[in-house]
Amino acid sequence: MSEISDKSLIERLLNPSTREEAFRILVEQEGPRLYNLVRRIVQFHDDADDVMQNTFLKAWMALDTFRAESKVSTWLHRIAINECLTLLGKRRPMQSLDGEAEELSAEIKNLEGDTYFDGDAAQLKLQEAIDTLPEKQRIVFNLKYFEEMKYEEMSALLGTSVGALKASYHLAVKKIEQICKEED
């Protein structure tokens, strides 16, 4: 099925008689791209599936309150990122200061053996470097680098100024470059 325009999709989503079909189209159109973003943030396939399910469930439940002030994809991204942050926040209390390096190493080993991750050595090195970034920098880097999202769109999505996002992305790139140079 070909993609329908955002305006047409919003009209269908807000109309109770066409809502279900429009939502199915929304999931088909936005699901794969959104999954890739979520997966890069939470790292594991099972966690990404949980986040995706929660994202679409929350979107479905909130359709009546959707004000159509932004694109549907931006709205879904915001819900998904909030769900990612919730999941990561639940993980954080389990991490001790001494155990963070061990846990990161275990996460990378799990990623290497994950049947859903099909990457070569360069992709794995990049993912390892991304995983060392603080949460906000990791999210900004993933949105800019992989999703090619504009800063203005990220600003609306994350509720952060464009300047702060540019600074976060710049710091993330520098850290990734440094980590990759150290490993060579």
Q: How confident is the model at residue 97 (pLDDT cuts 50, 70, 90)?
A: very low
Does 101 reside within a domain? no
Instruction: Please name which of 107, 162, 115, 117 lies closest in space to residue 140, comparing C-alpha atoms.
Output: 162
**Residue 167 buriedness (CB in 10 A; 0-12 / 13-18 / 19+):** middle
Q: How confident is the model at residue 116 (pLDDT cuts 50, 70, 90)?
A: low
Shared domain for 85 and 25, answered yes or no, is yes
| 0.85 exceeded by pTM | no
Does 166 reside within a domain? yes
Shared domain for 83 and 124, answered yes or no, is no
- The pLDDT value given to residue 54: 97
- The pLDDT value given to residue 79: 95
Shared domain for 75 and 129, answered yes or no, is no
pLDDT tens digits, 18-61: 999 999 999 999 999 999 999 989 888 999 999 999 999 999 99
Shared domain for 175 and 132, answered yes or no, is yes
Query: Cα(40)–Cα(76) distance, rounded to whole angstroms?
Result: 16
Does 112 reside within a domain? no
CB 87 within 8 A of CB 47: yes
Strand, helix or coil for residue 157: helix
Count of structural domains within the chain:
2
Check which CATH number belongs to the domain holding 183 and give it: 1.10.10.10
Does 28 reside within a domain? yes
Does 62 reside within a domain? yes
Q: Among 30-39, 104-113, 128-137, 157-166, which is the least confidently predicted range?
A: 104-113
Check which CATH number belongs to the domain holding 40 and give it: 1.10.1740.10
Shared domain for 124 and 72, answered yes or no, is no
Shared domain for 126 and 52, answered yes or no, is no
Q: Which domain holds residue 66?
A: 1-94
